[in-house]
A = this chain, B = another copy of it.
């Protein structure tokens, strides 16, 4: 086991220490979402969501796919930090109220 550098770990924790980004990452490990869905689910502004996603992208945490006028994001399972990320979100209570609400909202959204 080689392990990660201090810098890589702190970079990852800086990204996931935000509640929106922590829950968002949990969802992105389960399936892909397009930006407009995420904006609706989290009730944040479109630029705010876009900036959250940019942080993930800069750290290599997500895959991005453009289809039509939409961009879909999901967790990049091949990233260097994938075990760390999986362990962190694995600590989340699966019955977390916010998570349940987010998932139910997702179903109601059509971009």
Most buried by B among A5, A7, A13, A16: A13
Contact B17 A13 (CB under 8 A): yes
Contacts of A6 in B (CB 8 A): 19, 22-23, 92, 96, 98
Residue tally, chain A, CB below 8 Å to B: 28
Q: Choose the segment among A28-36, A46-54, A82-90 that binds chain B (4+ C-beta atoms closer than 8 Å).
A: A82-90
Instruction: Name which residue of chain B comes closest to A11, CB basis.
Output: B17
A91 at the interface (CB under 8 A from B): yes
A65 at the interface (CB under 8 A from B): no
Which A residues form the contact surface with B (CB < 8 A)?
2-7, 9-10, 13-14, 16-19, 22-23, 81, 83-84, 87-88, 91-96, 98
